[in-house]
Amino acid sequence: MSDIQLLPCAHCGCEPMLEKHPAHSHSAALQALVPGLPDHPGSWTIECPTSGCVALIGDACADVITAWNRREPLASRPADAGGSPVDHACARVRNAEAELKTARKALVDVMTTAALTND
C-alpha cells in the first residue's frame, strides 16, 4: 500500500492520517450500552487532523484510499466553491468564528434569563 499516494485533504489541505483497525471484540462497557453489538470485523480509516473536517472508513485499505483521493476537478466546481486549500481553510475558520459568536450570544441569553428568573 505504500506505493499508493494519499492526497492532502480536499477541504483544508492538511496531511491525512491512515490507520488500520484490526478485528476486535468491543469492551464489556460498550457491549452493556449496546446489547447485541457484533464484533468489529476490522477496518481502515483516513482522517483529516483538522477538527471536524472529514474522515472515511472502509473494509479495504485500497478502497478507502481510492475514495479519499477521489475529488472533483477544480474547473468543474461552482465559482463560489473555487479557490485554494488555504482559501477553503480560511472560509472554514470564518464560519467557525461566526458560529462561535452566535453560540456565545445564545449562552449569555440563557444565563441571563436563568439569573433573572432565579431572583
Contact segment (CB under 5 A) with Zn ion among 23-31, 44-52, 78-86, 97-105 equals 44-52
Contact segment (CB under 5 A) with Zn ion among 26-34, 50-58, 64-72, 76-84 equals 50-58
Q: Give the shortest CB-85-to-Zn ion separation in angstroms.
A: 8
48 binds Zn ion (CB under 5 A): yes
- Residue with the three cell numbers 453489538: 37
46 binds Zn ion (CB under 5 A): no
Contact segment (CB under 5 A) with Zn ion among 25-33, 43-51, 66-74, 107-115 equals 43-51
Q: Give the shortest CB-49-to-Zn ion separation in angstroms.
A: 7
Q: 6, 18, 47, 53: which one contacts Zn ion (CB under 5 A)? A: 53
What's the rounded Cα separation, in Å, for the pair 19 and 46? 6
Q: 50, 58, 61, 91: which one contacts Zn ion (CB under 5 A)? A: 50
Reduced 3-state DSSP string for the chain: CCCCCCCCCCCCCCCCEEEEECCECCCHHHHHHCCCCCCECCEEEEECCCCCCCEEEECCHHHHHHHHHCCCCHHHCCHHHCCCHHHHHHHHHHHHHHHHHHHHHHHHHHHHHHHHHCC
Positions touching Zn ion (CB under 5 A) are: 9, 11-12, 14, 48, 50, 53
